[in-house]
Structure 1
Amino acid sequence: MPVTSPTYRSITEATMMPRLIRLAPNLYAAAFTLMKTLPARYILKRAAERGELDRGTVIVETTSGTFGLALAMQAALMERELILVSDPAIDDNLYRRLTDLGARVEICTEPAPTGGFQQARLRRLAEIRAQLPDTFCPEQYSNPDNPRSYQLVVEQLAGTLGVVDCVVGPVGSGGSMCGTVRGLREHTPHTLAIGVDSHRSVLFGQPDGPRELRGLGNSLWPPNLDHGVFDEIHWCDAAEAYAATRALHGRHALFQGPTSGAAYLVAKWWAERHPDEMCVVMLPDEGYRYQATVYDDSWLADNGLALETLPAAPTPVASPSEARDGWTRFAWGRRTYDAVPGAVARLAAPPPAEPVREPEGALS
């Protein structure tokens, strides 16, 4: 009998879904090649169906990571112009890949006084949109098509694993965790959601500050983040996330990025303490961008990020204000943000950037 394999219409279609990999009897990894391919493809396809993405429409977005790469891949396949606004966190290899795919990348070199680089990027994005006659912004932080796209993952998990008792994953825009967990709870309301954040991210109540660990956390509150979805929040440091990333590779041969390592650290701990319950951990992207950093022992040592042993368990805290450095855990309890004591007041968040009107032809 001839061996057949599925065929795909594009690389984004072929890679948008995760592989489900058994890490322990009650722990499965939803391991993505590039998780952001799923919402990027869905958002652009839906925009085209609604007539919001004509041939002359320029796609514009702010990103410093994998959502930009996913957009660049899909925009190239759809033959659409793409402008990305980023910041110095973007690495040279990613920059080259984005430009090779035809994207124009603008770098904001100075952070905004409030909201950091993310607010600076939003302001530059508004300027660019004001100067162009026809643009479409995917707006991953606020577009409901972002969490909506993960319904496909919901169907995959439920169809393959049956009842999922707990989902653990990193939180940035809020799309993957909120979309996946809300979908699962339509059938299993008890399903727990454990979000993994980085210290000095405002998402779950800490004050904004510099963060070594990228790819999760935020300096602004994204509208797609539904705080009432989450049962627990864990914060961890870069060194812990990097060491867990290496442990995931060394133990399971899963070559993933540091956001995956952070999620794996938490999921392994939870699954070991709940052996009769099924846990799924979301692993957003592969490790190729991090070969010269996370996977380089010399780089880790030179930057003071080498960690010989992982902590055995998180330190519980009574409020976000008590979460200092190190792996910490807080019982969020599916509450709204404002219902959680010790969280930084939302009034600290900067207002949305307003478009700045420039003279015609100002965009170079």
Structure 2
Amino acid sequence: MVENAYLESTEAVLLPRIIRLGGNLYGAAFTLMKLVPARHILLKAERSGLLGPDTVVVETTSGTFGLALAMQTALMRRRLLLVSDPVMDAALLRRLTDLGARVEICAEPAEVGGYQEARLARLAGIRAELPDTFCPEQYENPDNPASYAVVAEHLERTLGTIDCLVGPIGSGGSMCGTVGALRAGRPEVLAIGVDTPHSVLFGHPDGPRELRGLGNSLLPGNLDHSAFDEVHWCTAGEAYAATRLLHRAHALFQGPTSGAAYQVARWWADRNPDARVVVMLPDEGYRYQDTVYDDDWLAAGGHTMPPPPGPVAVADPTRPTDRWSMHPWNRRGLAEVLDARAGEEAVR
């Protein structure tokens, strides 16, 4: 009976609502997208014996994957220890601790790799100290992208043929997993990834990033660069403005990673009216009521401008810009893109 309870409680909010956003654009609006891999990984670990009754689940996270783990471990009656950094907001920290998670904050970034590297080092230390741990390893575990097969099935069952999938990139799991499953039947499905300036995922040098929930300071093993046809980089202010537009225009109360993806998807769908486009909207906006949804907070941060009408195309994906930009990735590996760019520079 207990097992059924923790299976059903998270399953009820696992899959996204599919909402038509106008014309040929559809939103896949999740309550909490990271529940998909968290639930899949933990239940698989329990079935295989990797997650026993006394095993401590440990992970590094600063956002919604930690929340998803906390929800699932609370239902499974398992202990959870999360390693994070000062960017974790107070509302999320309160919710995690209320669910029974223990959270350690790394106060200082590593010289190389920033806070994410510091968190990984502390995580390794914790695993060495504790006798029995299980780490979901969202950045490297292939069960992360594999878990999104159920999302692809849901999209196809609801909408039929899908021509283009747009979504934000963090660990690489959601976009690579979903588009991979969609392409099992239709290899021509397009994938457009949404990143943010100064994220290393698609070639930018690592640097400060205000926009959280997408981008990375380290390259995750689950990111398959060759899955993407286009890559867009959205700034924080543009994502915030698009998040508010998504709320006003469609009454969808989502977070800023959803806003960034919506900005790109809306632009692309308008220019490709014969394509059925789906945009991944990862989580709801309750964590952002005092920030993105607060006009005074936006004004104080200088985020009062509307999103630009479209991106600027950049020839060099290694150079961040201060506005929405895009690069035709053409399903190439990262090394291939960077080598091609280096060759162009050498010719000049």
Distance 1:273 1:168, change over 3 A: same
2:43 alignment partner, SS class: helix
C-alpha displacement at 1:8, in angstroms?
8.8
Equivalent position of 1:205 in the other structure: 203
Distance 1:243 1:70 in 2: 26
Distance 1:212 1:344 in 2: 27
Equivalent position of 2:272 in the other structure: 274
Percent identical among aligned pairs is 67
C-alpha displacement at 1:10, in angstroms?
3.4
> Conserved in 1, the CA contact under 8 Å of 2:30 and 2:281?
yes
Instruction: Report whether the alignment pairs 1:32 with 2:30.
Output: yes
Equivalent position of 1:301 in the other structure: 299
Equivalent position of 1:83 in the other structure: 81
Equivalent position of 2:249 in the other structure: 251
Distance 1:344 1:147, change over 3 A: farther
Residues 257-276 of structure 1, C-alpha deviation per residue, up to 9 Å, x if partnerless?
Answer: 00000000000000000111
Residues 18-70 of structure 1, C-alpha deviation per residue, up to 9 Å, x if partnerless?
Answer: 00000012110000000001110000000111110000100000000000000
Distance 2:173 2:7 in 1: 25
Q: TM-score, normalised by structure 1?
A: 0.91
- Residue 336 of structure 1 aligns with an amino acid whose one-letter code is G
- Residue 313 of structure 2 aligns with an amino acid whose one-letter code is P
Equivalent position of 1:176 in the other structure: 174
C-alpha displacement at 1:306, in angstroms?
1.9
- Residue 255 of structure 1 aligns with an amino acid whose one-letter code is F
2:56 pairs, out of 48, 54, 58, with 58
Distance 2:233 2:260 in 1: 9
C-alpha displacement at 1:11, in angstroms?
2.7
C-alpha displacement at 1:179, in angstroms?
0.3
Aligned residues: 338
Matches within 5 A, 1:1-16: 9-16=7-14
Distance 2:278 2:20 in 1: 9
Residues 75-94 of structure 1, C-alpha deviation per residue, up to 9 Å, x if partnerless?
Answer: 00000000000000101111
2:338 alignment partner, SS class: coil
Q: TM-score, normalised by structure 2?
A: 0.95
Distance 1:199 1:235 in 2: 6
C-alpha displacement at 1:299, in angstroms?
0.3
> Conserved in 2, the CA contact under 8 Å of 1:169 and 1:281?
yes
1:15 alignment partner, SS class: coil
| CA-based RMSD | 1.4
* Runs of 5+ consecutive residues of structure 1 not aligned to the other structure: 1-6, 346-364
Matches within 5 A, 1:42-191: 42-191=40-189
Distance 1:302 1:344 in 2: 38
- Residue 59 of structure 2 aligns with an amino acid whose one-letter code is E
Residues 205-245 of structure 1, C-alpha deviation per residue, up to 9 Å, x if partnerless?
Answer: 00000000000000000000000100000001000000000
> Conserved in 2, the CA contact under 8 Å of 1:206 and 1:344?
no
> Conserved in 1, the CA contact under 8 Å of 2:6 and 2:72?
no
C-alpha displacement at 1:344, in angstroms?
10
Higher helix share: 2
Equivalent position of 1:321 in the other structure: 318
* Runs of 5+ consecutive residues of structure 2 not aligned to the other structure: 343-348
